[in-house]
Structure 1
């Protein structure tokens, strides 16, 4: 099954353009907060943070906070600082991730830890976490603080869980979904949930938008897993095969290993242990992932979660915001194809 979700949508090419247009004015305000709060008397902090923050990311998570507020017709501005807090949490986790992974690339540029070193990257990540919590406290809502602080803790748990599963080729699909639910989907869910809190839209709206964000986050991560074996550096903003060389046991690997012959399984075991990491080995891995249907099935699972995200929007009236958020879910499973 290689058809993408958007082919069900009257041939329209899915795009982030609608959600970017919807949130453009709000994102200007969010970017102003980000620029102001990443400043420091210590020159290295804004220099290193700016390298990543200005590095071309889509700002998907803060956009979701703003889009959720639009969906609810929230007229205030509290969500601008909170969206900035969400982006700071995300950026901090990226800085820490690149140190843990030893990454060379991030958003198509050299990873910050290669330029400034691991200690500086970790400490600036800590600085951005602290700025995020300052913004939450300034908002004054204990419920918002609880949602975002819990998300930060769950993300860290997910990262540690992934670290313990690294190179463990017999990791189950259920365990892997648990990892990505924590390390990726939790912040998507929190980013969406805080808007109905500040808009006082009620528990049903909070739960629906959390479900939208969580399912979108899972779909987003599954597609990332797939395109590591199906795309190029220019498309991905990281090196093709990085997950493979890092021994990351992602869903395509889990499925290919489960379906492979004894010889295939020996290859995967050696590869995940770092004993088979050449370009030729990557080509073998890619071939096995395609021939076992692991890539197609990973994408099919991503489409399933994207559909669940869109279903969660049924609570809200049709309109520009709901259409933009629907297209964002469609885009998540069609990018790089």
Structure 2
């Protein structure tokens, strides 16, 4: 991961000063680096030893894709915080944030081409398109209290889990793993991503800003219909319809509304149900690894699936 970080630092440089400044603001803020870590760990879990040049470049590309989507998301959502720091668009403006995101996408594809791994390039290129589709679908259904569970899972599968899946799949492909391992690692990444996003949804109502790297309640205050909220709406049907309609559908929120929404999400068991669903996807992720030979790397990937959920418990 030190090698990946060094590659990220080198490739985000530009003669246009605002580009590395803005990129470093977000990238240097830390983050868990889960997605590029998945690429490297998948390569090792498939038995790769020694130098793994292609997976390292693919891992850096994955982080650039992820960072680009964050820059774009924060502009769309008008978010105030990202990874515990002031969102880039509030410092440099929305146009610069969007264009630097585009620059990072371009850098990601340069790295992919350098690996001469056309299949891996195809995997990550397709993922970039799926992520965009997921973001647009979420945008069109953002305040929809009639959003069903399956459609919500479709949204987070595209906008979040797809990059987890592609990161793991590309790592396996990058070291020439057999088809069974490639398929298994894609399934692992997809289910891990679903577990991770559902835990994030739960954290918005049950966590603290220090844990989230953003303000608790951001999803609610942006009117996002996430699974904890949708479950709470369903479980308070007929009693709290006016509250949910005003705060989510109409976007008329007061400073005290999040406290009430949080009480309803927790009190109805919607928070616990969301974490239970996250746990189910984490179990599916671990089960997918059974085709891989036993190793410390496989154990680490299993532990990562547990971590994705336990951080919100």
Normalising by structure 1, report the TM-score.
0.90
RMSD (Å), alpha carbons: 1.0
One of 199, 202, 225 as aligned partner of 1:223: 199
Partner of 1:257: 233
Partner of 1:66: 40
- Superposition map of 1:262-301 within 5 A: 262-301=238-277
Counterparts of 2:294 and 2:115 in 1: how far apart (Å)?
30
Counterparts of 2:39 and 2:162 in 1: how far apart (Å)?
13
Partner of 1:28: 2
Partner of 1:105: 81
Name the SS for the 2:206 alignment partner: coil
The answer to which of 65-74 and 300-309 deviates more is 65-74
Q: How far apart are 1:272 and its partner, in Å?
A: 0.7
One of 129, 133, 151 as aligned partner of 1:175: 151
Does residue 308 of structure 1 match 2:279? no
Asked if the contact 1:267–1:276 (Cα under 8 Å) also holds between the matched residues in 2, the reply is no
Normalising by structure 2, report the TM-score.
0.97
Q: Which runs of 4+ in 1 moved over 4 A?
A: none
One of 87, 92, 97 as aligned partner of 1:121: 97
Cα-to-partner distance string for 1:59-84 (whole Å, 9 max, x where unaligned): 00000001111111213321101100
Counterparts of 1:301 and 1:246 in 2: how far apart (Å)?
23
Partner of 1:51: 25
Alignment size in residue pairs: 311
Q: How far apart are 1:199 and its partner, in Å?
A: 1.6
Partner of 2:129: 153
Name the SS for the 1:262 alignment partner: coil
Counterparts of 1:275 and 1:71 in 2: how far apart (Å)?
47
Counterparts of 1:198 and 1:43 in 2: how far apart (Å)?
33
Counterparts of 2:119 and 2:259 in 1: how far apart (Å)?
49
Does residue 335 of structure 1 match 2:301? no
Asked if the contact 2:55–2:175 (Cα under 8 Å) also holds between the matched residues in 1, the reply is no
Asked if the contact 1:252–1:298 (Cα under 8 Å) also holds between the matched residues in 2, the reply is yes
Counterparts of 1:241 and 1:167 in 2: how far apart (Å)?
15
- Superposition map of 1:321-332 within 5 A: 321-332=297-308
Counterparts of 2:251 and 2:131 in 1: how far apart (Å)?
30
Instruction: Give unmatched runs, 5+ long, in structure 2.
Output: none
Counterparts of 2:36 and 2:10 in 1: how far apart (Å)?
16
Instruction: Give unmatched runs, 5+ long, in structure 1.
Output: 1-26
Counterparts of 1:282 and 1:139 in 2: how far apart (Å)?
47
Name the SS for the 2:16 alignment partner: coil
Counterparts of 1:310 and 1:298 in 2: how far apart (Å)?
19
Cα-to-partner distance string for 1:210-259 (whole Å, 9 max, x where unaligned): 00000000000000001101111111110110000101000011111112
Counterparts of 1:236 and 1:274 in 2: how far apart (Å)?
26
Asked if the contact 1:244–1:277 (Cα under 8 Å) also holds between the matched residues in 2, the reply is no
Q: How far apart are 1:275 and its partner, in Å?
A: 3.9
